[in-house]
Amino acid sequence: MAKKIRTNKKHRICRVTGCKHILSIYNTENHCHVHQQFAMVRQTPSMSLIKQ
């Protein structure tokens, strides 16, 4: 049996304010490829905040 490919709704737009990129139905993220790296930086805790 073939594996079903996961897809999302059509015409989803990047969540960054002012960005008009339409996301691919295969992109499971909420941001376009341009803003994805910035979204990851905001979600990753700063090294200075991590208790040692």
pLDDT one-digit tens code per residue, 11-45: 999 999 999 999 999 988 899 988 888 776 665 55
| pLDDT on residue 14 | 93
Where are the chain's structural domains?
7-45
Residues 32/21, Cβ–Cβ less than 8 Å: yes
